[in-house]
Chains A and B, each alone.
Chain A
Amino acid sequence: MWKVIGHERAVGLLERSLNEGRLSHAYLFVGPRHVGKMTLAINLAQALNCLGEERPCGECSQCRRIGEGKHPDVQVITVQSETKTEIGIDQIKELQHSSILPPYEGRHKVFIIEEAQRLSDEASNRLLKTLEEPPPGVLIILLAENERALLPTILSRCQIVELRPLPVPLIEEELRRKAGPQEAETLARLSSGCPGWAFSALRDSRILKERQEEITGILEMLNAGIVERFSYAAELSSRFSRSREKAFEVLNLWLSLWRDMLLIKGEACEFITNIDQVEILERKVDGYTIDQIKGFIQSLKEAWGQLQDNANSRLVFEVLMLGIPEKGKAWAM
């Protein structure tokens, strides 16, 4: 039983290759966060080592321990600690050393390189040879959000399998096994097609709570005075210096809410992401022109770009806050 939700094409491809003994030695799974890349990679590793009839059975000792990350022949290579930003060359050297030895107890050694875009240049290049001609029985799976962030020489040595966001109804259906209809619908929509997020949010109520707090903060800013906005900008900027990722998440939430407002204004309400906020958003939209909304989304994207380019985050956020359009003062159409 393949545990991964959706992605029939990808699963079909792998299953077929597996059954026909035509599995490639290197794969790259590309797709947004939480879309199911790791789940699929683990599943594939299980299928390769499964002792059961219908591979992967998910129940034999091999499948079980691979699933729990406790199998000696299935290694996940990832950025080693919070302080590091790259997967270093030493990690690849270790991979290479380990790859020349036969599996410890399974049938195949599987190396999963998570966030492959974080491979340092040296590490990527070091990996090339192994990626092109790994020892027999070794499978290397790279995971990345965007193939453009990888060296072309890496790409051309992998079979690329794209995992696109899933249809929302499919995620909803899966969620219904564990959640009420209301919750399932909301989470499915909020996940933007990435089931991993929805299931994490289902398990950990803090995720939704934190999101709600952020949203409240954002919505407050729309009517806030300049002092509040500046202090919000200052806070965001200090969060940015602590964790860029977190600050970008907040910025994403801004974008997502404003995009919803754009859709509401454009009378395409059925496609909005944040359905739990629909009423409040509908109220907020009143008084903005669609041009204002579009303009501010562009400012948000500009801010995003500037932050990526290491602009002074404080200034970027301040300018952004000053740029929030004023309601109801639009010039007459």
Chain B
Amino acid sequence: MTSQVFYRKWRPQTLGEVVGQEHVTRTLENALLMGRVAHAYLFCGPRGTGKTSTGRILAKAVNCLGGGRGEPCNTCSMCQAITEGRALDVIEVDAASNRGIDEIRDLREKVRFAPNMARYKVYIIDEVHMLTEPASNALLKTLEEPPPYVIFILATTAPHKVATTILSRCQRFDFRRLTQDAIAGKLEHICEREGIRIEPEALRLIARSATGSLRDAENILEQLYAYYGTDISLPQVRALLGISGDPRAHEVARYILSRDVTAGLRTINSVVADGLDLRQFNRELVEYLRMILLVKSGSEVAVDLTQEELEDVKSICATSSTEQILKAAKLFGGIDLRLDSYSPLPLELALVECALEEGRPPPPDAKQPEREAPEIEPKPIDRAPTEGKTYPPNVEYLRQNWGRAVEALRGVGSKGNLDAFLRNACEPVGLEDDTIILGFYYEFHKEKIEDPKYCHLVEEKLSEVFGQPYKIRCTLIGKERRPPSRGHLVKAAMEMGAMIIEPEEG
């Protein structure tokens, strides 16, 4: 049923075939030619860059029966056994699943056995950074005085996690992420041999999406081959990589900026209904918003658009403010769909947010700080209330600024949500010298805040916010005293500058 997949079939078998790591392979080849092979190597680099493959080639080269120095012959029985992974003297160990001291002790004992048939016993230890500390100490001992017939090749994707004592015992080689050209070149080679017809442009696209890992690129090619056979077109590659080019990304951008929530929601949901990849859709949407922003800020030259597209973008720019576009780009750009890529909810929320926040009527007193401006320091003294209330503060002042005080408690408390806890729980009802009297609607909240642990935190923050040391005292005022509206509404209203003059009596 199965045939070998590309990354196995086209695994390099000589140093010369290893792509994009010439700085490594050339040094190794020289060492082999001069017969100066080290006893321990450390191969570092991202996945799919050829570490294990190079390790196997090295194992063949030192054990090759072909007689030549340098590259392995790949035809002798030893080379073949190693290629097929059945040579007894080339041992691949995966440190991630053999990371304990026992496994490494076991390895240390086995290292002492002479090779069965090969000249050198080669240990290829993958993901060596996964070893526990005692295990890596145990390995170190073996590295310090290895039997003459042993070569260690340690490989890791995270060299910074490898103990420095181990690093210092090894000859280190850093494998680089492959360049797009190198990947495209190798893919081209595979396509030629497999009889696959594909445009260079498409290969570049694959190379780009593989982010430097040859194995990833080979897998994409494999998948394309599986889906479409030997004739692969650019649009097919785009489709597989989820690059849709769906015009609806542009439509949604337009709706966002024209604050048309209904049309926006409908379009997003039609995209979902069609089974499109939302991650990709959002990427394209953000990209388009970025272009609009560039055009708006006068950098037309920086965008690669047809005249028609440019006209479209310009017409959007004409009706939207820079702040609005910037905000949209930020909001949509910040959406993380990686963990749930099937729900459009994050896009819908961002859409509503963009449409509404700016669409509000200007608040009666626009000088109050907005929620979205955390950079503004919470020093209320500098922004004394506008209605003539003067310092020293009185209860009225405290009440008006209560929302901000609560906001300052964000991130405070063991769960970091003391603000949420307090927001609807109480209000300042009096001020006695330096003691703020907090009236609680419920016993539950009062008790919590009376806990010295929390009490202290609140006092500290209030002092900070109101610019002088305050203590608090809690009292119960009952739920009939609760403000007329609360929750997000109050928060929103207060942020917009509204204030609670007098709690509505039941």
A interface residues, Cβ below 8 angstroms from B: 9, 12-13, 16-18, 21-25, 32, 48, 89, 107-108, 121-126, 128-129, 132-133, 136-137, 139, 146, 148, 152-153, 156-160, 162, 164-168, 192-193, 226, 230, 255, 259, 262-263, 266-268, 270-271, 289-292, 294-299, 301, 306, 311-312, 315-316, 319, 322-326, 329-331, 333
Given A32-B342, A226-B442, answer yes or no on A295-B265 (Cβ-Cβ < 8 Å). no
**Can you give 28 A-B contacts (C-beta < 8 A)?**
A16-B227, A21-B1, A22-B226, A23-B2, A24-B226, A25-B2, A48-B1, A108-B1, A125-B96, A125-B97, A133-B8, A146-B341, A156-B48, A156-B215, A156-B216, A159-B226, A165-B275, A255-B345, A295-B487, A306-B415, A312-B415, A322-B487, A326-B487, A329-B485, A330-B489, A331-B492, A331-B496, A331-B498
B488, CB-defined interface residue at 8 Å: yes
Task: Let me know if A323 and B275 touch, CB within 8 A.
Answer: no
Q: How far is the CA of A324 from the CA of B47 in the complex (A)?
A: 47
The stretch from B59-67, B183-191, B392-400, B417-425 touching chain A is B417-425
A24 and B444 in contact (CB under 8 A), knowing A125-B96, A292-B488, A296-B488?
Answer: no
Within 8 Å of chain A (Cβ to Cβ): is B274?
A: yes
- Can you list, as one digit per residue, whether each of B322-346 has a CB less than 8 Å from chain A (1) or not (0)? 0000000000000000111110010
Give the shortest distance, in Å, between B300 (CB) and chain A (any CB): 33
- State whether B339 touches A128 (Cβ < 8 A): no
Hey, which chain B residues are within 8 Å of A324, CB to CB? Answer: 487
**How far is B94's CA from A23's CA once the two chains are assembled, in angstroms?**
27
A89 to B485 alpha-carbon distance, docked (Å): 56
A195 to B373, CA, bound (A): 45
Could you say which residues of chain A place their CB within 8 Å of the CB of B130? 125
Is A122 in contact with B97, judged by CB distance below 8 angstroms?
yes
In the complex, what residue of chain B is closest to A123 when comparing beta carbons? B97
A297 to chain B: which residues have CB within 8 Å?
345, 349
Q: When the two chains form their complex, are residues A291 and B275 in contact, meaning their CB atoms are under 8 A apart?
A: no
Nearest residue, chain A, Cβ from B350: A294
Do B338 and A271 touch (CB < 8 A)? no
CA distance A136 to B1 in the complex (A): 9
Residues of B with C-beta under 8 A to A152: 47
Q: How far does the alpha carbon of A331 sit from the alpha carbon of B338 in the complex, in Å?
A: 37
How far, in whole Å, are A306 and B411 apart by their CA atoms in the complex?
12
B226 x A290 contact (CB < 8 A): no
Question: When the two chains form their complex, are residues B421 and A266 in contact, meaning their CB atoms are under 8 A apart?
Answer: no
Contact with A along B469-506 (1 / 0, CB 8 A): 00000000001000011111100110010100000000
Contacts of A139 in B (CB 8 A): 1-2
B353 within 8 A of A: yes
CB-CB nearest in chain A for B424: A322
B5 touches A25 (CB 8 A): yes
B287 at the interface (CB under 8 A from A): no
Quick check: B345 and A329 within 8 Å, CB to CB?
no
| A12 in contact with B227 (CB, 8 Å) | yes
Determine the distance from Cα of A324 to Cα of B487 in the docked complex, in whole angstroms.
7
Q: Are A89 and B97 in contact, CB atoms less than 8 angstroms apart?
A: yes
Q: How far is the CA of A21 from the CA of B277 in the complex (A)?
A: 29
* Residues 244-286 of B at the A interface (beta carbon under 8 Å): 261-262, 264-266, 269, 272-275, 277
Q: Which residue of B lies closest to A153 (CB)?
A: B47
| CB of B223 closer than 8 Å to a CB of A | yes
Whole-angstrom CA separation of A291 from B275 in the bound complex: 28
On chain A, the residues within 8 Å of B353 by CB distance are 294
B97 near A126 with CB under 8 A, answer yes
